Structure 1
Amino acid sequence: MTKKAIFGGTFDPIHIGHLYIAYQALYKLNLDKIIFVPSGNPPHKTERIITDSKLRYHMIFEAIKGEKNFELSSYEIEKRGLSYSYETIEYFKNSEKDTEWYFITGVDCLMEIETWKNVDDILSNCKFIVFNRPGYNICDILKWKEFIQNKYKKNIEFLDIPLLDISSTEIKNMIKNGQEVYYLLPKGVDEYIKHKELYI
C-alpha cells in the first residue's frame, strides 16, 4: 500500500526548516510521497494577515521543484469557505482509497487540537504525526499526547527530531529590516520573494 503524508500550513514563506521536516518524516516513516497543502482560509488565523494564497503556492512550487517525493496541492486555496483539516484529510482519503494517509503538523497544533473541528474524524482518517518546535517542553508534549490518545482512543506519533530554529515570522521581519535571508530559504524562493517584492 502507498504511504502518503499531507503537510499543511500557511508556508508564509516556506523555508528550509519546512523541507527539513518533510525529509525527516519521509525517511523516518518510510513514506512514498509528501503533499504540501498551503492553507486557504484557516479558521485559527482569521485575525492574522496572510500573504495571498497564489503567491504562497508559487513559493512552494519553487521550493520543491524537482523533488521527486514531494507534491503540491491547491485543494485548500481553491476551496470556498474556511479550511478545516478534517475536510482536507477526507478529500485526500476519498481520492485515493488504497493509500495509507499521514498528517504532519507541529506540536503547537497538537496542543490546541481540542479547539479543532471534528477531532475524532481527523484522528480516525489518518496517522497523526507531530514534530517538535522551539519553546515546547518534551514532558508537557508527551503528557498532552497521552491525554489526547486516551480520550480519542487513537495513536499519535511524536517525531522527535533535532530542531532547526527558523520561523517564517522571523524571516519576514528580517526582510522588512533589509537583512539577507537567502540562506534560510529553498533555492528559487528568495528570488521569487525579491521579484514580487514581498514582506518589505
Structure 2
Amino acid sequence: MKKIGIFGGTFDPPHNGHLLMANEVKAALELDEIWFMPNQIPPHKQDEDHSGSHHRLRMLELAIKGQQGFKTEPIELERQGPSYTHDTIVLLKERHPDKEFYFIIGADMIEYLPKWYKINELVSMLRFVGVKRPGYETISHFQVIEVEAPQFEVSSTMLRERFSEGYVTDFLLPEKVKLYIEEKRLYGTF
C-alpha cells in the first residue's frame, strides 16, 4: 500500500517553506508521494481574500515541477463551499482505496484538532503528521506523528505584502512562481 502525504493549504502563494516542510516529512516517514492540495475555502479563513483557485493551482504546479514524488491534488477545487478535511478524505479514500494517507499540519494547528469537523471519524481514516515549530506545543488528545524540520521563516502573507510593496522576494519562493506572479500581476505587482 502506497503511503501518501497530504499537504493542504491555500498556497497563496506557495513558497520554499512549503517545499522544505513537505520534503522533510516525505523523507522522515518514507512516504511514496506528497500531494499538495489547495483549498477551495478553508473553514478558518472564509473571510480572507485569495487569488483565484486557477492561479494557486498553477503556482503549485510550477513550484513542484521536476520534484520527484511531489504532485498536485485539486480535489478540493472541484467542490463548492468550505473545504472540510473530513469530506475530502472520504472522497480520496473512495478514489484511492489502495493508499494510506498522512495529513500534514503545522504545530500551530495541532491544538485546533478538537475543533475540526468530524474529527473522531477523521482520525480513523488517516494519520496526522505535525511539523514542530518553536513556540508551539505539540500535545494533543489525538495521535499525531511529530516530525522536525529546519525552520524557514517565510509565510504567504509576508510574500503577498512584499509583492504589493515592491520589496525583494528572491530565495523565498521558486523563481518560476515569482515570474508567474509578476506576469499575472498578482498581489499588487505591476
d(CA) in 1 for partners of 2:109 and 2:154? 17
1:48-105, CA deviations, whole angstroms, 9 ceiling, x for partnerless residues? 1121111111100100112230111111111122110011112112211121111011
Give the letter aligned to residue 175 of structure 1: F
Match among 151, 159, 184 for residue 171 of structure 1: 159
| Greater percentage in helix | 1
What does the per-residue CA deviation read over 1:129-165, in whole Å, with 9 as the maximum and x for residues that have no partner?
011345x24xxx13x32xx23xxxxx21111222111
Alignment partner, residue 117 of structure 1: 117
- TM-score normalised per structure 1: 0.89
Give the Å deviation of 1:39.
0.4
Q: Which runs of 4+ in 1 moved over 6 A?
A: none
Go from structure 1 to structure 2 and tell me whether the alpha carbon gap of 1:133 and 1:197 turns closer, same or farther (over 3 Å shift): farther
Normalised TM-score (structure 2): 0.94
Q: Which residue of 2 aligns with 1:152?
A: none
Residues 152-167 of structure 1 correspond to what in structure 2 (within 5 A)? 155-167=143-155
DSSP-derived class of the 2:124 partner: helix
Q: What residue is the counterpart of 2:58 in the other structure?
A: 58
> Deviation digits for residues 99-137 of structure 1, max 9, x if unmatched?
111101112221212221000122111110011345x24
SS of equivalent to 1:199: helix
Deviation at 1:40, TM superposition (A): 0.3
CA RMSD of aligned residues (A): 1.3
Map of 2:69 onto structure 1: 69
> CA–CA distance in 2 between the matches of 1:99 and 1:77?
21
Map of 1:3 onto structure 2: 3
Kindly report which structure 2 residues correspond to 1:1-200, keeping only aligned pairs within 5 A, or say none. Answer: 1-133=1-133, 136-137=135-136, 141-142=137-138, 144-145=139-140, 148-149=141-142, 155-200=143-188
CA contact 1:37–1:72 (8 Å) conserved in 2: yes
- Equivalent residues of 2:35, 2:70 under 8 A apart: yes
Pairwise CA distance, 1:17: 0.3
What fraction of aligned residue pairs are identical, expressed as a percent?
36
Point out the more displaced range, 12-21 or 173-182.
173-182
Q: Provide structure 2 residue ranges, at least 5 long, that are not aligned to the other structure.
A: none
Distance in 2 separating the partners of 1:21 and 1:49? 25
C-alpha distance in 2 between matches for 1:84 and 1:179: 35
